[in-house]
Amino acid sequence: MKTLQFREAIQQAMSEEMRRDETIYLMGEEVAEYNGAYKASKGMLDEFGPERVIDTPISELGFSGIGVGSAMIGNRPIIEFMTFNFALVGIDQIINNAAKIRQMSGGQFNCPIVFRGPTASAGQLAATHSQAFESWYANCPGLKVVVPSNPKDAKGLLKSAIRDNDPVIFMESEQMYGDKGEVPEGDFTIPLGVADIRREGTDVTIVSFGKIIKEADKAADELAKENISVEIIDLRTVKPLDYEAVLKSVKKTNRLVILEEAWPFGNVATEITYHVQSNAFDYLDAPIVKINTADTPAPYSPVLLAEWLPNYEDVVKAVKKVLYKL
Q: Which of 16, 129, 174, 260 is catalytic?
A: 129
Q: What share of the chain is helix, strand, coil (3-state, %, to 5)?
A: 40, 20, 40
Beta bridge partners of 118: 172
**Is 134 an active-site residue?**
no
Beta strands 2-5 and 76-80 are unpaired
Count of other CB atoms within 10 angstroms of residue 154: 32
**Is 275 an active-site residue?**
no
Residues 6+ apart with CB under 8 A from 201: 220, 229, 230, 231, 232, 253
209, 196 Cβ separation under 8 angstroms: no
Q: Which of 17, 60, 80, 215 is catalytic?
A: 60
Q: Describe the strand order of the beta sheet including 168-172 as a list of residue ranges.
A: 53-55, 24-28, 76-80, 114-118, 168-172, 144-146, 237-239
Beta strands 230-234 and 196-199 are antiparallel
- The DSSP code for 217 is H
Which residues does the annotation mark as catalytic? Answer: 60, 129
